Structure 1
Amino acid sequence: MGIRIVLADDHRIMRDGLCALLAREKDIELIGQADDGLGAVRLARELRPDIVVTDVSMPGLNGVEATRRIRTDDPSVRVLCLSVHAESRMVLAVLEAGASGYVLKDCSYDELALAIRKAMADQVHLSAELVGLVVKEVRSRGQPQAAGGTAALTPREREMVQLLSEGLSTQQIADRLHVSIKTVATHREHVMQKLDISSLAELTRYALCEGLSSLDQPWRSGARTPS
């Protein structure tokens, strides 16, 4: 039996390309595809793959949060993250969420295949360009840190931060999460208090800095400023 893979990426052309490449590998079997983080979590629960290969920047639920949920649901499922972003904070966020590696999208396909096999062997793989950045960031963490951070937020609050920063209205968020508008407003108030911020602009900057969202991944063309 081959290494059973679920692939998650919100860009269809990226998924199609990776599917074609993975099909060449006799020891790798693609068993499912998702176009967002929630889909990746759902397929991981339903299909119980060996590895989920996921994009990091996806609307609705990003790869960091998807990784955290997948690993919480079933620690035997490995997660390998793909991204165009080479920021050390983003890399550390996915590793701390439980990922088995971080591969830049401009790497060769051979590197991705190697990373998949290393993940299956319970080894961690980082693209070579990231190793120095991660070491530097880890060393800097011995210095005093600012208050707050995503660790202070619950999983639902982190999801709320992403949706708010991506421009969804209160009603849209309530519909997506199947909660009341009042519940969304309460969560938003609690998040603002925890992070000691007072505006959605500050919340958006926080989400970008913490890797919870990215400006190049708008939720939808019709998204509007949260009310």
Structure 2
Amino acid sequence: MTPLRIVIVDDHPLFRHGVRTLFSTIPDLEVIGEAASGEEAIQLADEQKPDVMLMDIRMTGLNGIEATRRIVSADPSIRILILTMFEDDTSVFTAMRAGAKGYVLKDAEKDELLRAIRAVGSGEAIFSSGIASRMIEYFSMVRPAAQEQLFPELSAREREVLYLMEGGSTNAQIAHKLDLSAKTVANYVTNILNKLQVADREEAMRLVRESKSQP
């Protein structure tokens, strides 16, 4: 059996070393490279063409979600498995929209991680059990009209900011969750208010709540 060729992307050397050591005893997995940033991950993806990349989210420089988006856009055959400590809904859904095929937490058991890597390597989508349950719950609540069909005048990123606003997040919290600068978030908020033709955040949030209540 040809082993799955793996690249580990994480800005903590000890974590990368631990994962590489773990995989050294697994005959169907082969670590062919390591990256400490999103920029390095993109370069390795282009040079090595791995089967699976284990991608952290928060890293110095380019974050893992944006790196995922660029890698998958350039080469959809490279499968990204997010391996991180962050399990909030925003991180999960943003990663999926960026093209990740799976999402596993760093505290997962060895067998769960290996199962996820093999599943993603074979083209399946897979999530940690707790995250999978929340995703099922989330999508069971979504009406036939997808969220992307609501507020079509907004960009995908503007909709993300709008839904976080409606959830009670401040600009600073939105900036942290989406790994953006405070100024960038403020610009998004201004654009949202202008496009929705509302006077303030409260009125924008009211529009979101009203859209959710519609059948």
Common fold: TM-score over 0.5: yes
Quote the residue 1:3 is aligned against: 4
Q: Percent identity?
A: 33
Instruction: List gaps (5 residues or longer) in structure 1.
Output: 166-184, 198-227
Number of matched pairs: 172
Counterpart secondary structure, 1:81? strand
Provide, for residues 97-155 of structure 1, a one-character-per-residue CA deviation record: whole Å limited to 9, x for no partner.
Answer: 111100011111221111111011111110101112112333444387676652679xx
Instruction: List gaps (5 residues or longer) in structure 2.
Output: 161-174, 195-215
Counterpart secondary structure, 2:91? helix
Q: Shift in Å at residue 196 of structure 1?
A: 5.2
Quote the residue 1:78 is aligned against: 79
CA contact (8 A) 2:33 2:44 kept: yes
| CA spacing shift, 1:189–1:57, aligned 2, 3 Å | closer
Provide, for residues 164-223 of structure 1, a one-character-per-residue CA deviation record: whole Å limited to 9, x for no partner.
Answer: 35xxxxxxxxxxxxxxxxxxx9x89965653559xxxxxxxxxxxxxxxxxxxxxxxxxx
CA contact (8 A) 2:158 2:192 kept: no
Greater mean deviation of Cα atoms: 99-108 or 53-62: 53-62
Question: Within 1, Cα distance between the matches of 2:37 and 2:59?
Answer: 6
* TM-score, scaled relative to structure 1: 0.66
Higher helix proportion (structure 1 or 2) = 2
RMSD (Å), alpha carbons: 3.0
Provide, for residues 81-107 of structure 1, a one-character-per-residue CA deviation record: whole Å limited to 9, x for no partner.
Answer: 011112122212111211110001111
CA contact (8 A) 2:53 2:80 kept: yes
CA contact (8 A) 1:148 1:195 kept: no
Question: Is it true that 1:27 corresponds to 2:23 in the alignment?
Answer: no
Quote the residue 1:164 is aligned against: 181
CA contact (8 A) 1:32 1:43 kept: yes
CA contact (8 A) 1:152 1:194 kept: no
Counterpart secondary structure, 1:39? helix
CA contact (8 A) 2:158 2:188 kept: no
